[in-house]
Amino acid sequence: MATDPDCLFCSIAAGSMGVEFVYADADVVAFRDIAPKAPVHLLVIPRQHFRDVRELAGDPAAGAALLAGVAAVAEQERLPYFTTVFNTGAESGQSVFHVHAHLLSGSGQIWAHGG
Protein backbone atom coordinates (compact mmCIF):
# COMPACT_ATOMS: atom_id res chain seq x y z
CA MET A 1 0.00 0.00 0.00
CA ALA A 2 1.49 3.29 -1.10
CA THR A 3 1.65 6.11 1.42
CA ASP A 4 3.37 9.49 1.44
CA PRO A 5 5.46 10.21 4.56
CA ASP A 6 4.87 13.96 4.11
CA CYS A 7 1.07 13.66 3.80
CA LEU A 8 -1.08 14.73 6.76
CA PHE A 9 -3.90 12.35 5.85
CA CYS A 10 -1.51 9.41 5.42
CA SER A 11 -0.33 10.09 8.98
CA ILE A 12 -3.91 10.31 10.21
CA ALA A 13 -4.85 7.07 8.44
CA ALA A 14 -1.85 5.34 10.02
CA GLY A 15 -3.12 6.37 13.46
CA SER A 16 -0.07 8.45 14.30
CA MET A 17 -1.85 11.80 14.73
CA GLY A 18 -4.20 10.91 17.59
CA VAL A 19 -7.32 11.64 15.52
CA GLU A 20 -10.39 9.76 16.72
CA PHE A 21 -11.93 7.66 13.96
CA VAL A 22 -15.71 7.40 13.72
CA TYR A 23 -15.20 4.50 11.30
CA ALA A 24 -12.28 2.38 10.15
CA ASP A 25 -11.81 -0.71 8.05
CA ALA A 26 -8.91 -2.21 6.10
CA ASP A 27 -9.24 0.34 3.28
CA VAL A 28 -10.59 3.60 4.71
CA VAL A 29 -10.94 5.69 7.84
CA ALA A 30 -13.44 8.43 8.69
CA PHE A 31 -13.18 11.29 11.14
CA ARG A 32 -14.84 14.61 11.93
CA ASP A 33 -13.81 17.67 9.90
CA ILE A 34 -12.07 20.29 12.06
CA ALA A 35 -13.99 23.10 10.29
CA PRO A 36 -17.48 21.64 9.80
CA LYS A 37 -19.77 23.11 7.14
CA ALA A 38 -22.84 21.17 8.33
CA PRO A 39 -24.10 19.62 11.59
CA VAL A 40 -22.52 16.35 10.42
CA HIS A 41 -19.30 16.85 8.46
CA LEU A 42 -17.05 13.81 8.22
CA LEU A 43 -14.04 13.08 6.04
CA VAL A 44 -13.68 9.61 4.57
CA ILE A 45 -10.19 8.85 3.28
CA PRO A 46 -8.44 5.84 1.82
CA ARG A 47 -5.54 4.46 3.82
CA GLN A 48 -3.58 4.37 0.56
CA HIS A 49 -2.32 7.68 -0.82
CA PHE A 50 -3.99 9.08 -3.93
CA ARG A 51 -3.51 12.79 -4.61
CA ASP A 52 -7.03 13.40 -5.91
CA VAL A 53 -10.01 11.85 -7.71
CA ARG A 54 -8.11 11.72 -11.01
CA GLU A 55 -5.40 9.59 -9.45
CA LEU A 56 -7.92 7.45 -7.56
CA ALA A 57 -9.71 6.70 -10.84
CA GLY A 58 -6.64 4.71 -11.91
CA ASP A 59 -7.41 2.16 -9.19
CA PRO A 60 -11.08 1.16 -9.53
CA ALA A 61 -10.92 -1.20 -6.53
CA ALA A 62 -9.66 1.61 -4.28
CA GLY A 63 -12.36 3.94 -5.62
CA ALA A 64 -15.03 1.35 -4.92
CA ALA A 65 -13.64 0.80 -1.42
CA LEU A 66 -13.78 4.54 -0.72
CA LEU A 67 -17.41 4.76 -1.89
CA ALA A 68 -18.28 1.67 0.16
CA GLY A 69 -16.68 3.42 3.14
CA VAL A 70 -18.86 6.49 2.58
CA ALA A 71 -21.95 4.27 2.51
CA ALA A 72 -20.84 2.38 5.63
CA VAL A 73 -20.23 5.61 7.55
CA ALA A 74 -23.64 6.99 6.51
CA GLU A 75 -25.28 3.76 7.65
CA GLN A 76 -23.37 3.68 10.94
CA GLU A 77 -24.21 7.32 11.67
CA ARG A 78 -27.86 6.69 10.70
CA LEU A 79 -27.90 9.50 8.16
CA PRO A 80 -31.22 9.41 6.27
CA TYR A 81 -29.76 11.79 3.66
CA PHE A 82 -26.31 13.17 2.94
CA THR A 83 -24.17 14.98 0.42
CA THR A 84 -20.78 13.72 -0.69
CA VAL A 85 -18.22 16.16 -2.14
CA PHE A 86 -14.78 15.56 -3.64
CA ASN A 87 -12.67 18.67 -4.24
CA THR A 88 -9.97 18.22 -6.86
CA GLY A 89 -7.32 20.92 -7.16
CA ALA A 90 -6.53 23.96 -5.05
CA GLU A 91 -8.92 26.12 -7.08
CA SER A 92 -11.80 23.87 -6.03
CA GLY A 93 -10.92 24.14 -2.36
CA GLN A 94 -8.75 21.04 -1.96
CA SER A 95 -6.26 21.92 0.76
CA VAL A 96 -4.93 18.46 1.63
CA PHE A 97 -3.71 16.60 -1.43
CA HIS A 98 -4.87 13.14 -0.38
CA VAL A 99 -8.22 12.27 -1.92
CA HIS A 100 -11.05 12.54 0.59
CA ALA A 101 -14.82 12.55 0.56
CA HIS A 102 -16.66 15.19 2.54
CA LEU A 103 -19.77 13.53 3.97
CA LEU A 104 -22.28 16.18 5.07
CA SER A 105 -25.74 15.95 6.57
CA GLY A 106 -28.13 18.11 8.56
CA SER A 107 -29.53 21.59 8.22
CA GLY A 108 -27.34 24.35 6.88
CA GLN A 109 -25.43 22.26 4.34
CA ILE A 110 -23.64 24.56 1.93
CA TRP A 111 -23.75 21.96 -0.88
CA ALA A 112 -27.26 20.73 -0.09
CA HIS A 113 -29.16 21.61 -3.28
CA GLY A 114 -28.61 22.32 -6.89
CA GLY A 115 -28.45 19.01 -8.64
Candidates 100, 115, 114; CA nearest to 8 is 100
Q: Is the separation of the CB atoms in 96 and 33 below 8 Å?
A: no
- What backbone phi and psi angles, to 5 degrees, belong to 94? -70, 120
Is 100 annotated as catalytic?
yes
- What backbone phi and psi angles, to 5 degrees, belong to 7? -95, 125
From the list 41, 49, 98, 100, the catalytic residue is: 100
101, β-bridge pairs: 44
d(CA 22, CA 37): 18
Instruction: Kindly list the catalytic residues.
Output: 100
